[in-house]
């Protein structure tokens, strides 16, 4: 019997450390040539499997693979492509199995968030019902930090660090200018459904900064919010606001949705930050500045958390170990042992319990007034942003890896992706 090959794919929005997980998967697989044959990566995620575009990671040098640890983004390409349900498009799942069969793939490593965990679980089930031996292991990844059964998700700690550092830096700036100029700075951060990322902005309070956090979990109350900003500006001379893109009015509409139209009738271009900033200006008269971090926050490998990078790597490594231990339909997890000193161990969770379950931020992580974080939240966040793990630089710019990404010859007829 020949040695089974492996398939790895990156899924959904990429992060500054998803390549560290890829590095963990590939380096660990390479240490077991007796158990794992070739390791293919999907070109642009699961699309690469459907299209039979398999990247031969064996063509990449050890140096190139090691460099993935410090390279943001998805080195093999990712995709936003959710497989339909088994009932609606069984053909897609069968195609995956056909491609895996054609290329002797016995291990399926899927690196993504909740949707991907669901796909990974379905693939494992179908392989069983089709009598094809495949071990499907999910490698967690999401800046949204919303996967259940793991203390945290790779990608989140680095975004949290970026948001905390950026909030502190911009707040120092505003503090300098407030006597005659800008008094309120608004930073918009990601997190459509949960306030994990916005919460990191609350860490700025550790450095004495007056900061108001607007969470998706707390219905926006304009009068209360303005009263809080007014109070802080009167007390400190300035304040910063960290607003989650998911912050919304009681009727469910996002702050960014103002129903405005441009000269051509197009809906107003988004951004919760400018809306909040203008609101402050109109009500309180303060000069403002606002920023929207968008991709900068999730791509900021230059300020990644060392804890996050290490865990991303370890979970990739552990995923391969779980496969070698014969496990199937599982996801390696982080189990926190203590906050300070920070200690954790790696565990695992069945995909059945992970798929399509969103972990909300606990209400007791948000202060009673809804505008800050509690000590409990602070103790949770601090270890996740601990440590710096700088990339190498050359000529003033970070040295990020771009792989060869050689695609192996196809063996099957083309498949139309719906």
- Residue 280 structure tokens: 């402050």
Question: Under rule CB under 8 A, which residues in 115-154 are in contact with a second copy?
Answer: none
What number of chain residues touch a second copy (CB under 8 A)?
89
Nearest to 130 by CA among 98, 104, 85: 98
Classify 161 as helix, strand or coil: helix
| Residue entry with tokens 């070739």 | 38
Question: Under rule CB under 8 A, which residues in 307-336 are in contact with a second copy?
Answer: 307
Q: CB-wise, 13 or 113, nearer to a second copy?
A: 13
Q: Which one of residues 290, 313, 365, 380 is an interface residue with a second copy (CB under 8 A)?
A: 290
Nearest to 312 by CA among 2, 1, 16, 31: 16
Q: CB-wise, 289 or 359, nearer to a second copy?
A: 289
If one asks whether residue 344 binds a second copy (CB under 8 A), the answer comes out as: no
If one asks whether residue 77 binds a second copy (CB under 8 A), the answer comes out as: yes
Q: Which one of residues 56, 125, 148, 400 is an interface residue with a second copy (CB under 8 A)?
A: 400
If one asks whether residue 298 binds a second copy (CB under 8 A), the answer comes out as: yes
Ligand-binding annotation for 245, yes or no, is: yes
Q: How far is CA 45 from CA 62, 81, 282, 315, 402, in A?
A: 22, 9, 46, 18, 16
If one asks whether residue 54 binds a second copy (CB under 8 A), the answer comes out as: no
If one asks whether residue 285 binds a second copy (CB under 8 A), the answer comes out as: no
If one asks whether residue 387 binds a second copy (CB under 8 A), the answer comes out as: yes
- Residue 393 structure tokens: 């630089």
Q: How far is the CB of 247 from a second copy (least distance, A)?
A: 16
Q: Quick one: how far is CA 213 from the chain centroid?
A: 20
With beta carbons less than 8 A apart as the criterion, state whether 375 and 165 touch: no
Q: Which one of residues 5, 28, 78, 124 is an interface residue with a second copy (CB under 8 A)?
A: 78
- Residue 202 structure tokens: 């609350």
Which span sits near a second copy by CB under 8 A: 60-68, 139-147, 303-311, 356-364? 303-311
Q: Is 398 exposed, middle or buried (0-12, 13-18, 19+ CB in 10 A)?
A: middle
- Cα(241)–Cα(197) distance, integer angstroms: 13
Ligand-binding annotation for 57, yes or no, is: no
Q: Say which of 144, 146, 151, 308 is annotated catalytic.
A: 144
Which span sits near a second copy by CB under 8 A: 1-9, 21-29, 243-251, 392-400? 392-400
Q: Quick one: how far is CA 214 from the chain centroid?
A: 20
Q: Which one of residues 61, 62, 130, 169 is an interface residue with a second copy (CB under 8 A)?
A: 169
Ligand-binding annotation for 322, yes or no, is: no
Q: Which one of residues 2, 34, 87, 180 is an interface residue with a second copy (CB under 8 A)?
A: 180
If one asks whether residue 251 binds a second copy (CB under 8 A), the answer comes out as: no
What dihedral do alpha carbons 327, 330, 331, 336 form, nearest 10°?
A: -90
If one asks whether residue 17 binds a second copy (CB under 8 A), the answer comes out as: no
- Residue 225 structure tokens: 């919010």
Name 349's bridge partners: 331
Q: CB-wise, 269 or 409, nearer to a second copy?
A: 269
Phi, psi for residue 348 in degrees, rounded to 5: -150, 155
Which span sits near a second copy by CB under 8 A: 130-138, 191-199, 252-260, 325-333? 252-260
Which span sits near a second copy by CB under 8 A: 28-36, 70-78, 111-119, 137-145? 70-78
If one asks whether residue 361 binds a second copy (CB under 8 A), the answer comes out as: no
With beta carbons less than 8 A apart as the criterion, state whether 178 and 238 touch: yes
- Kindly write out the interface string for residues 90-119 of this chain, putting x where it contacts a second copy by CB under 8 A and - elsewhere: ------------------------------
Q: Which one of residues 22, 65, 68, 174 is an interface residue with a second copy (CB under 8 A)?
A: 174
Where do the DSSP E strands lie in 145-303? 184-189, 211-214, 239-244, 288-292
If one asks whether residue 388 binds a second copy (CB under 8 A), the answer comes out as: yes
- Cα(160)–Cα(68) distance, integer angstroms: 21
If one asks whether residue 172 binds a second copy (CB under 8 A), the answer comes out as: yes
What dihedral do alpha carbons 361, 367, 373, 379 form, nearest 10°?
A: -80
Phi, psi for residue 331 in degrees, rounded to 5: -135, 130
- Cα(89)–Cα(74) distance, integer angstroms: 27
If one asks whether residue 10 binds a second copy (CB under 8 A), the answer comes out as: yes
Annotated catalytic, 151? no
If one asks whether residue 73 binds a second copy (CB under 8 A), the answer comes out as: yes
Q: Which residues are annotated as a binding site for diphosphate?
A: 13
Enumerate the active-site residues. 144
Q: Which residues are annotated as a binding site?
A: 13, 142-144, 190-192, 245, 295-298
């Amino acid at each position: 019997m020949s040695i089974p090959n492996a398939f790895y794919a990156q899924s959904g929005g990429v992060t500054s450390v998803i390549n560290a997980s890829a590095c963990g998967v590939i380096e660990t697989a390479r240490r077991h040539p007796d158990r794992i044959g070739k390791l293919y990566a999907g070109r642009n995620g699961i699309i690469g499997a459907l299209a039979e575009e398999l990247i031969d990671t064996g063509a990449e040098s050890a140096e190139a693979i090691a460099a993935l640890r410090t390279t943001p983004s998805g080195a093999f390409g990712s995709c936003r492509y959710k497989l339909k349900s088994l009932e609606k498009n069984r053909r897609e799942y069968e195609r995956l199995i056909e491609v895996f069969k054609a290329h002797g793939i016995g291990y399926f490593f899927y690196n993504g968030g909740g949707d991907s965990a669901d796909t990974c679980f379905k693939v494992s089930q179908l392989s069983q019902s089709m009598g094809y031996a495949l071990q499907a292991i999910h490698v967690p990844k999401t800046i949204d930090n919303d996967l259940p059964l793991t203390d945290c998700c790779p990608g989140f700690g680095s975004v949290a660090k970026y948001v905390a550092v950026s909030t502190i830096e911009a707040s120092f700036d505003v503090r300098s200018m407030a006597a005659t100029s800008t008094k309120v700075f608004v930073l918009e951060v990601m997190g459509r459904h949960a306030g994990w990322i916005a919460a990191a902005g609350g860490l700025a309070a550790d450095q004495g900064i007056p900061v108001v956090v607007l969470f998706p979990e707390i219905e926006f109350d304009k009068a209360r919010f303005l009263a809080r900003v007014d109070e802080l500006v009167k007390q400190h001379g300035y304040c910063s606001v960290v607003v989650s893109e998911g912050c919304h009015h009681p009727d469910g509409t996002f702050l960014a949705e103002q129903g405005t139209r441009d000269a051509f009738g197009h809906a107003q271009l988004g951004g919760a930050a400018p809306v909040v900033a203008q609101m402050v200006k109109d009500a309180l008269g303060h000069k403002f500045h606002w920023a929207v971090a968008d991709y900068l926050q999730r791509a900021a490998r230059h300020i990644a958390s060392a804890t996050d990078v290490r865990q991303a790597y370890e979970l990739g490594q552990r995923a391969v170990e779980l496969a070698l231990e014969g496990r199937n339909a599982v996801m390696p997890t982080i189990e926190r042992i203590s906050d300070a000193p920070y200690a954790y161990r790696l565990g695992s969770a069945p995909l059945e319990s992970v798929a399509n379950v969103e972990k909300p931020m606990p209400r007791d992580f948000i202060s009673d007034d809804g505008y800050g974080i509690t000590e409990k939240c602070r103790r949770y966040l601090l270890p996740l942003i601990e440590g710096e793990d700088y990339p190498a630089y050359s000529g003033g710019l970070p040295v990020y890896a771009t792989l060869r990404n050689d695609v192996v010859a196809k063996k099957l007829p083309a498949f139309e992706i719906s």
